[in-house]
Each structure stands twice: as C-alpha cells, then as structure tokens.
Amino acid sequence: MDDVEVMAGMFRLMGDPTRLRILLACLDAPQSVGAIAAATGASQSLVSHHLRLLRAARLVAGTREARQVFYVAADDHVRDVLRNLMHHAAEERRST
C-alpha cells in the first residue's frame, strides 16, 4: 500500500460525520466510550465499532482504566489536520 492509499484511508475515516464527531470529542482530552457516545448522540455499539477502525488506523489511542477505556486523538498531526479543515469549513460557511 503506497502513501496515497494510506492517506486516503485516514481521510476516509474522518469523512464520516459520526466518526468525525467521535474524533472531535476526544481531540483535547481522553474520553471514555460512554462519554463519547453521550457527547455524539450515537449508540454505544456504533461508537465502539468506529473506535475500532480509528484505533486500527492509529488516529486514536485507547487505554484501559478499570472498567472504562479512554480514547484520545493520536498525535498533533491529527489534531492539526482537523483544526485546519475546521477553519476552512468555517470560511466556506462565511463566504456562501
């Protein structure tokens, strides 16, 4: 798999609204699965499914703490990409 496909894979993961909300929910601080489900309004099962994909692509990292598992955005690249396109989206809204 070449770089382009790796990149595309990451973008595709961020390209689903539910998954994007999950990512944004744990952008700044680790959040438990339950908290993410509550924050995003998605079912626990769905959140878990998505987290698995995000974890497999190393976009988030999860650590177990007693019964709960806390997930957080993997690194600064991910955070930067999200913040960057957030600005772009904001500008799009303003100009249309």
Partner DNA sequence: CCAACATATGAACAGATGTTCATGCTATTC
Partner DNA sequence: GAATAGCATGAACATCTGTTCATATGTTGG
Q: What letter does residue 30 receive in the DSSP assignment?
A: -
Binding mask 17-56 for DNA (x = CB under 7 A): xxx------------xxx-------xxxxxxxxxxxx---
Helices (H) and strands (E) in the chain, counts: 5, 3
CB-nearer residue toward a copy of itself: 8 or 29: 8
Determine, following the binding rule CB under 8 A, whether residue 88 of this chain makes contact with a copy of itself.
yes
Contacted by 92, from DNA, a copy of itself, none: CB < 5 to 8 Å by type: a copy of itself
Q: Which residues of 18-45 are buried (b: 16+ CB within 10 A; e: fewer)?
A: ebbbbbbbbbeebbbbebbbeebebeee
Contacts with DNA, residue ranges (CB under 7 A): 12, 15-19, 32-34, 42-53, 62, 64, 66-69
